[in-house]
A and B are shown apart, each in its own frame.
Chain A
Amino acid sequence: MPEITYLEAIREALFEEMDRDPDVFMIGEDIGGFGGAFKVTEGLHARFGEARVIDSPISEIGIVGAAAGAAHMGMRPVVEMQFIDFIANAYDMLTNYVATARYRAFLPTPMVVRGPSGGYVRGGPFHSQNPEAGFIHTPGLKVVYPSTAADAKGLMKAAIRDDDCVLFFEHKYLYRRIKGEMPSGDVVVPIGKARIAREGTDLSIITYAATVYKALEAAEQLEREDGLHVEVLDLRTLAPLDDDAIFATVKKTNRVLIVHEDTRTGGIAGELTARISESCFEWLDAPILRVTAHDVPLPYAPSLEDFVLPQTPDIVLAARRLAAY
């Protein structure tokens, strides 16, 4: 079976889900004939028509709100944020309206908000963000952030079929760099399940999205140069977190390094650290360490961006410190 890119995997999922279910529709800015800023929706408009692949005004509040209303009526909208940075414009609609709808009004709101996320692409402050932490804090929303092509496809299918709102973060650095074989048939990757990306016994790196690859690279170097067997856990879903998988790797290796591309303060690493220390304190042989971005807006120049974001040597350094503890 030929390999396809992470981006093509997402597109395949959208095609297959629109084919499977007439209630699924797409809405977003420039997603129609143009195919979207990154061409994720390319071909959908030609195949399914403008009624189901809706070019919207520049209107994040409008389209997220409209998706919610349509979802209440039984549709399954998939909303594209042209860049996930713009999801901040719809923050009220997502957190105050969508996230509470089932709880306060018993209104099902099956919808997906997806978009290109993340840095390492010289995109500057407004085309590089990782805003996931702000949303995992909101009960009522689910958040996924895949790292592999197969997970991107399988999780997109799960997100569209989920009966609640799922925020689907796509890492734009991975869009065309990562390829993978697709499993045959209609494979849905369950929301809420982490994946062991690499087995190991000496320490655990817990991470997600683009930094999974930096962690894997570091793990290989540590094995080669230090003889360390590093386990890498790819969270895949950020809300709800897979406590079982997280605690299992902690209990296996007793040393934990959390890596994320998002900024440090209030990032998901803090929540993971609290959960591990509440539930696995006796299993820890060292303090939990974090490698994250610095707490600054992401700058444009390569020398600045590379300095601010976590890099493989940072992970190697932190892992060695943990191993020596």
Chain B
Amino acid sequence: MGGSAKSRGAERTGVRGARPAAETGSGGAAELSREQRLDLYYWMRLTRSLEERLVNLYRQTKVVGGLFRSLGQEADAVGSAYALQRGDILSPLIRNLGSMLVKGATPVEILKQYMARGDSPTRGRELNIHFGDTERGFIGQISPLGDMVPVMAGVTLSFKMRGEARVGLVYVGDGATSTGAFHEGINFAAVQRCPLVVVIENNGYAYSTPTVKQSLVKQFADKAIGYGIPGETADGNDVVATYEATKRAVDRARRGEGTSIVELMTFRRKGHAEHDNQSYVPPGELERWAAENDPIDRYVARLSSEGVPADELRAIDARIQREIDEATDAAEASGVPQPLDALTGIYADPPAERPLWFREGGAAVVQSSERPSSWGTFDAPAKGAD
């Protein structure tokens, strides 16, 4: 059990422009081929472009619920997930669309989820990216934060019990580190030597609450000391540094050396969801991160310095646009869930609940697909208007 081995990433204040790769990459650990390096670009760009398409659909009120962006955090989700192998399982959080795409989630699944379609992965039962597929290697999150840490401790406990060389990875935000579930899950995983990597995505805010009101630790990786496990902080806006730091933790887990924390420093450039105007962020901060520390811009500069022609990246962009267009057409063509399906699959046995007597026949009462006003278009009534 080592202490905290740190390679500090970008300081949240004082970022003065994209850092050249040579400064942030630890070197040696990542033997990424040219094809893999372009893979990383593809997944990051796909994440961003898919979310941009979702913004359009949201504005057309085709997204039923809220929309959650990971703008500016694409590198931490993609780079960390890319450190896993086939057979490994991760559990994403709301900013980790990129990690799910890396594990095989498809754009059409994401679009259908947001649009609450009947043939979406959860058949309209759950929102946004709350879905999973253990075969492909991701387990869907639930909204109470921190809960996936004990669950992934159990997933990886099963790997250990069965002698499988598989690894689990669970994402939490800076906010979730304050929960009891985070503590109990990571402590359990640590004492059981579960092959688990806990990625703390430190993006500065939990909804509107800054990290300084969440915890007094200087770096969340320092929490590892309290659990007797290794912890490392990396620059989450550097996709290669993220990959390398996560890979070190994944390799340790696969060698039977148990649980680690990887803290990825990044910044949430959009609100908690689309309705949130981020009034709590100091002026200029959003613009500064966009201009000086965008993970895709930084990676494009790096690839360019490594001799990847711009045309090649533009071809990837075009391919992504085609894929998203096709996915959008397919999602829009799919139907809404059939009401009676709401009563199936609560248990394996019995397979379905009976409709209540006043709803026999399964007639749908509500046919509106409008987004409820509480999800972002709410106009507060004037005082006394009641």
Q: B126 to A61, Cβ gap below 8 A?
A: no
Known contacts A62-B150, A71-B154; A104 and B134 CB within 8 A of each other:
no
Q: Interface with B: A52-60, A198-206, A311-319, which one?
A: A52-60
Q: How far is the CA of A139 from the CA of B352 in the complex (A)?
A: 12
Q: Interface with B: A105-113, A126-134, A173-181, A290-298, which one?
A: A105-113
- Please tell me if B153 contacts chain A, counting CB pairs below 8 Å: yes
Q: B140 to A57, Cβ gap below 8 A?
A: no
Q: B345 to A57, Cβ gap below 8 A?
A: no
Which residues of B lie under 8 Å from residue A51 when comparing CB positions? Answer: 161
Q: B126 to A66, Cβ gap below 8 A?
A: no
Q: How far is the CA of A51 from the CA of B347 in the complex (A)?
A: 29
- Please tell me if B338 contacts chain A, counting CB pairs below 8 Å: no
Which residues of B lie under 8 Å from residue A73 when comparing CB positions? Answer: 134, 154-155, 158-159
Interface residues of B in 158-176 (CB under 8 A from A): 158-159, 161
How far is the CB of A70 from the nearest CB of chain B, in Å?
Answer: 4
Q: A65 to B149, Cβ gap below 8 A?
A: yes
- Please tell me if B363 contacts chain A, counting CB pairs below 8 Å: no
Known contacts A73-B134, A163-B348; A97 and B151 CB within 8 A of each other:
yes
Q: How far is the CA of A119 from the CA of B191 in the complex (A)?
A: 34
Q: A66 to B147, Cβ gap below 8 A?
A: no
Interface string of B130-146 (1 = CB under 8 A from A): 11101000011011100
How far is the CB of B285 from the nearest CB of chain A, in Å?
Answer: 34
- Please tell me if A123 contacts chain B, counting CB pairs below 8 Å: no
- Please tell me if A69 contacts chain B, counting CB pairs below 8 Å: yes
- Please tell me if A96 contacts chain B, counting CB pairs below 8 Å: yes
Interface string of B118-133 (1 = CB under 8 A from A): 0000100110001110
Known contacts A25-B161, A142-B347, A163-B348; A93 and B147 CB within 8 A of each other:
yes
Q: B158 to A92, Cβ gap below 8 A?
A: no
Q: B348 to A164, Cβ gap below 8 A?
A: yes
Q: How far is the CA of A93 from the CA of B158 in the complex (A)?
A: 19
- Please tell me if B4 contacts chain A, counting CB pairs below 8 Å: no
Q: B153 to A65, Cβ gap below 8 A?
A: yes
- Please tell me if B46 contacts chain A, counting CB pairs below 8 Å: no
- Please tell me if B349 contacts chain A, counting CB pairs below 8 Å: yes
| Cβ-neighbour of B188 out of A57, A75, A140 (below 8 A) | A57
Known contacts A65-B149, A102-B348; A96 and B132 CB within 8 A of each other:
no
- Please tell me if A125 contacts chain B, counting CB pairs below 8 Å: no
Q: A104 to B125, Cβ gap below 8 A?
A: yes
Q: B185 to A61, Cβ gap below 8 A?
A: yes
Interface residues of B in 204-228 (CB under 8 A from A): none
Q: A92 to B151, Cβ gap below 8 A?
A: no
- Please tell me if B340 contacts chain A, counting CB pairs below 8 Å: no
| Cβ-neighbour of A65 out of B147, B158, B345 (below 8 A) | B147
Closest to A142 in B: B347
The bracket for how many chain B residues form the interface is: 35 or more
Q: B347 to A100, Cβ gap below 8 A?
A: no
Q: A72 to B139, Cβ gap below 8 A?
A: yes
Q: How far is the CA of A105 from the CA of B346 in the complex (A)?
A: 11
| Cβ-neighbour of B150 out of A54, A66, A139, A140 (below 8 A) | A66
Known contacts A25-B161, A105-B131; A67 and B154 CB within 8 A of each other:
yes
Q: How far is the CA of A194 from the CA of B330 in the complex (A)?
A: 50
Q: How far is the CA of A52 from the CA of B122 in the complex (A)?
A: 33
| Cβ-neighbour of A57 out of B152, B155, B187 (below 8 A) | B187
Interface residues of B in 347-366 (CB under 8 A from A): 347-350, 353
Which residues of A lie under 8 Å from residue B140 when comparing CB positions? Answer: 104-105
Known contacts A97-B151, A107-B139; A102 and B158 CB within 8 A of each other:
no
Which of A73, A92, A240 has most chain B Cβ within 10 Å? Answer: A73
Q: How far is the CA of A62 from the CA of B187 in the complex (A)?
A: 8
Which residues of A lie under 8 Å from residue B181 when comparing CB positions? Answer: 61-62, 65, 92-93
Q: A65 to B185, Cβ gap below 8 A?
A: yes
Q: How far is the CA of A71 from the CA of B154 in the complex (A)?
A: 8
- Please tell me if A307 contacts chain B, counting CB pairs below 8 Å: no
The bracket for how many chain A residues form the interface is: 35 or more
- Please tell me if B180 contacts chain A, counting CB pairs below 8 Å: yes
Closest to A63 in B: B188
How far is the CB of A138 from the nearest CB of chain B, in Å?
Answer: 10
Q: B184 to A69, Cβ gap below 8 A?
A: no
Q: A65 to B184, Cβ gap below 8 A?
A: yes
Interface residues of A in 47-103 (CB under 8 A from B): 51-52, 54, 56-57, 59-75, 77, 92-93, 96-97, 100, 102-103
- Please tell me if B157 contacts chain A, counting CB pairs below 8 Å: yes
Q: A72 to B134, Cβ gap below 8 A?
A: yes
Closest to A74 in B: B158
- Please tell me if B49 contacts chain A, counting CB pairs below 8 Å: no
Q: B348 to A69, Cβ gap below 8 A?
A: no
Q: How far is the CA of A139 from the CA of B347 in the complex (A)?
A: 9
- Please tell me if B7 contacts chain A, counting CB pairs below 8 Å: no
- Please tell me if B192 contacts chain A, counting CB pairs below 8 Å: yes
Which residues of A lie under 8 Å from residue B353 when comparing CB positions? Answer: 139
Q: A66 to B346, Cβ gap below 8 A?
A: no
Known contacts A69-B150, A72-B134; A104 and B122 CB within 8 A of each other:
yes
Q: How far is the CA of A54 from the CA of B154 in the complex (A)?
A: 12
Closest to B357 in A: A278
Q: B152 to A69, Cβ gap below 8 A?
A: yes
Q: B134 to A61, Cβ gap below 8 A?
A: no
Q: A97 to B144, Cβ gap below 8 A?
A: yes
Which residues of A lie under 8 Å from residue B153 when comparing CB positions? Answer: 62, 65-66, 69
Q: How far is the CA of A32 from the CA of B304 in the complex (A)?
A: 59
Q: How far is the CA of A140 from the CA of B344 in the complex (A)?
A: 11
Q: How far is the CA of A68 from the CA of B143 in the complex (A)?
A: 16
| Cβ-neighbour of A72 out of B155, B192, B347 (below 8 A) | B155
Q: B192 to A54, Cβ gap below 8 A?
A: yes
Q: How far is the CA of A74 from the CA of B134 in the complex (A)?
A: 11
Q: A70 to B184, Cβ gap below 8 A?
A: no
Closest to B130 in A: A104
Q: B142 to A100, Cβ gap below 8 A?
A: yes
* Closest 3 A/B residue pairs (Cβ): A65-B150, A69-B154, A66-B154
Apart from A54-B192, A72-B134, A72-B155, list 11 A-B contacts with CB within 8 A.
A59-B187, A61-B150, A62-B187, A66-B185, A69-B152, A77-B154, A96-B142, A103-B345, A105-B130, A105-B132, A108-B348
**20 CB-based A-B contacts, threshold 8 Å:** A57-B191, A61-B180, A65-B149, A66-B188, A69-B153, A69-B158, A70-B155, A72-B134, A72-B151, A97-B144, A97-B147, A102-B347, A103-B345, A104-B125, A105-B126, A106-B122, A106-B345, A139-B346, A162-B348, A163-B349
